[in-house]
Amino acid sequence: MVGYKEVNLAYITKRFFQKHLKKTFKILIDELDISIHEAQKIVDRKRVFLNGVLHQHKAKKIQGEIEVIVFKPNPIGLNPIFQTEDFAVFEKPSGILVHPRKLETVQTLNDDIKYLFGRDANAVHRIDKGTSGLIVISKNKRSEVELKQLFEERKVYKEYIALVDGEVKEILNIDEKLLHNLASSKIRIKMHIHKDGKESYSRVEPIEYDRMNGVTLVKVIPKTGRQHQIRAHLFHVEHFIIGDTLYGLDENLAEEYLDGNMSFKRGAELTRSKRLLLHSNRICFEYNNIKYDIRSKINIKKEFYENCKF
């Protein structure tokens, strides 16, 4: 092994010289001490270079100068608020991604997960970058499978708190299908109410109406777990979440913000907050015959109003 070259704070390039012909995946297994699945995934993600050229043949025998881009945890300094032998629960801050989207992503929650619990630890569900609050982490492959199954089978009770535009006077049961990447929309990542979409259900309960600022603090219980479900459903009933630059703005302004052509300050002024005011507040489930009821430790109403631009 020759050494390491920094790619960014989360990824490094590991270099070594392979003297004799050997299958690519076997070289990665031996040099990186990883499984065959992980080795194949690294090749599929275009992170292997042979003599300076991208190499995408997993089983081909190769030799020479090999470079592999690998993940190197660079923790933010987050710690779980609750943990057992098999899983942990973090409070993710708003503005932090769960996983890196690309090599240029600097720090994510994944850095702290891997740093604290090793490479087999993973988030078993996701929350948006702008959303804060509780997220469950498996510490090993067995618990990952079991916990993900609980989420997929809708055996996990999730409760969110949001600050929304307008007065929510009564409980709203929103049963509207959601479709991703509608052809007529300018924004590819946006979810839309559409008859051809996936079944989606959210229950919205008003907590407190702020008459002076025209906003309502609400509790939201998503019975399904679609991408952007709470944001899209609240937008549909004309109570968009304060601070939502995707659903709280018209598509032209949202596109301008997403393309980086609008300043953070301008976005905060238009949406009335410096962050998305949505928080994962409570998670309940049964695991290994033990019932868990985990609640956020943050005073979220105070956090929300500290970020508002009223």
Candidate list 30, 44, 112, 128, residue with the active-site label = 128
As given in the structure block, the two tokens for residue 237 are: 């009933």
Give me the mean pLDDT over the 129-146 stretch: 97
Asked whether the predicted pLDDT for residue 205 surpasses 70, the reply is yes
pLDDT at 93: 96
Q: How far is CA 192 from the centre of its chain?
A: 20
pLDDT at 32: 85
The confidence band for 253, taking pLDDT boundaries of 50, 70 and 90, is very high
The confidence band for 10, taking pLDDT boundaries of 50, 70 and 90, is low
Q: Please state which of the ranges 84-88, 116-120, 276-280 shows the lowest mean pLDDT.
A: 116-120
Q: List beta partners, residue 52.
A: none
Q: What percent of the chain is modeled with pLDDT above 70?
A: 95
Q: Which domains does the chain have, with CATH numbers?
A: 3-71 (3.10.290.10), 73-153 (3.30.2350.10), 156-310 (3.30.2350.10)
Give me the mean pLDDT over the 240-261 stretch: 92
Which of 171 and 250 is assigned the larger pLDDT? 171
The Cα–Cα gap between 38 and 62 comes to 19
Could you give the count of Cα atoms lying within 13 Å of 161 in the half-sphere of its Cβ? Answer: 20
pLDDT at 5: 37
Which of 123 and 41 is assigned the larger pLDDT? 123
34-80: per-residue pLDDT in tens?
A: 889 888 988 998 989 999 999 999 999 999 999 998 877 788 899 99
As given in the structure block, the two tokens for residue 195 are: 């008859």
Burial of residue 205 (number of CB atoms within 10 Å: 0-12, 13-18, 19+): middle
Asked whether the predicted pLDDT for residue 106 surpasses 60, the reply is yes
pLDDT at 37: 85
pLDDT at 241: 98
The confidence band for 104, taking pLDDT boundaries of 50, 70 and 90, is low
The confidence band for 310, taking pLDDT boundaries of 50, 70 and 90, is confident
As given in the structure block, the two tokens for residue 184 are: 């007529």
Please say if 128 is a catalytic residue: yes
pLDDT at 8: 42
* pTM exceeding 0.75: yes
